[in-house]
Amino acid sequence: MDHDSLLQALRKAVQELMPQVDGVIALRRVGQGVAAHLYQAGDDLSDLTLEPSFPLPTSVRLIQARYPDKTFGVVVRGCDERQLIELAKRRQINLDRLRLIGVACSAQDAEFCQCDLPFPQQLSIGEQVEGVPQDFLDEFLAKPRQERLEFWKHAFSKCLKCYGCRNICPECFCKECVLEESLWVKSGTVPPPFPMFHLIRAMHTVGKCISCGECERTCPADIPLTVLYKLLRRDVERTFGYHAGANPDEAPLMDSTIFLADMDLLRPS
């Protein structure tokens, strides 16, 4: 299905859903870019679009917090659906008041995001394409330990502490963020001293991150954050069998009483 046909089908689906909901949250062409928008009955949908950009679930959370009693349609890509499910587990959004229209991303978009799962479980529009192989993870692991350390020290030395990675992440919703505590991350110095900030952030993504890649794309210092976060996500999947965003009825991994029966599984080789 080419992109134009996909957009046509998508707009049609949104039009059909509109009478059943109070509005539909989707991506809209804004200038040369795209951003989330709340379409309501009677709105022109010709600028409703789909691109591999923008942390849509954050907008959903904001709108739902303001209007908890309304029901909204949401156009979700694979990443959006998984993030919404993880947010729902943490009571940040209410899935019962959302009607999801699942859309598959194109192979081109999957490549752009380096996405390994470019479609939602509830897929209505578009065809599933294969995820992008994540070979770079094993390439990184082939480096000896000292080289890995130098790699990260160098990468993190460029950090401006703009908090972009945290700000853009839909899973980061804490009102008081530990990264702003001078007890942990020394204030007034840039880059933040290794390993504070970056390793704290990496650990906080565990069990929540679905690798949308927005953090890395917004980093002004081109720090390859997804290498670290994807390595951790892979461990979470292999060791605990936990796939973030897969099952809304599954308790969040790190904050629950699922017990890892065999700790030896994680002894480093």
Partner 1 sequence: MSSPEPTERPVYQPKIIGFLCNWCSYAGADLAGTSRIQYSPNIRVVRVRCSGRVSIELVLKTFHEGADGILVLGCHIGDCHYIDGNHRTSKRIPMLRQLLDYAGIEPERLRLEWVSAAEGDRFARIVNEFTEEIRRLGPIKQVMVT
Partner 2 sequence: MEYRNVSSVCTYCGVGCGLFLEVLDGQVTGTYPDPSHPVSEGHLCVKGWNAAGFVHHADRLKTPLIRKGDALVEATWDDALDVTAKALTRIRDASGPDALGFLCSAKATNEANYLFQKLARAIIGTNNVDHCARL
Task: Give the contacts of 136 (CB within 8 A, at least 6 positions apart).
Answer: 227
Nearer to partner 1, 150 or 222 (CB): 150
Contacting partner 2 within 70-109 (CB under 8 A): 70
220 contact, one of partner 1, partner 2, none, CB 5-8 Å limit per kind: partner 2
Contacting partner 1 within 56-85 (CB under 8 A): none
Tokens of 228: 């670290």
CB of residue 252 to partner 1, shortest distance in Å: 11
Tell me if 31 contacts partner 2 by CB under 8 A: yes
Nearer to partner 2, 133 or 193 (CB): 193
d(CA 184, CA 167): 18
Beta bridge partners of 101: 75
CA-to-CA dists, residue 92 to 16, 28, 58, 68, angstroms: 27, 24, 10, 11
Tokens of 160: 């401006």
CB of residue 161 to partner 2, shortest distance in Å: 7
Tell me if 199 contacts partner 2 by CB under 8 A: no
CB of residue 47 to partner 1, shortest distance in Å: 42
Tell me if 184 contacts partner 1 by CB under 8 A: yes
d(CA 251, CA 263): 20
- Mark the segment that binds partner 1 (CB under 8 A) among 87-95, 122-130, 158-166, 181-189: 181-189
DSSP per-residue string spanning 51-91: -S---HHHHHHHHHHH-TTS-EEEEE-HHHHHHHHHHHHTT
Nearer to partner 1, 7 or 172 (CB): 172
CB of residue 54 to partner 2, shortest distance in Å: 7
CA 168 to chain centre: 9
Residue 258 one-letter amino acid: I
CB of residue 88 to partner 1, shortest distance in Å: 21
CB of residue 132 to partner 1, shortest distance in Å: 20
d(CA 75, CA 125): 10
CB of 151 closer than 8 Å to CB of 214? no
- Residues binding partner 2 (CB under 8 A): 22-23, 25, 28, 30-38, 40, 53-55, 59, 62-63, 66-67, 70, 160-164, 167-168, 217-220
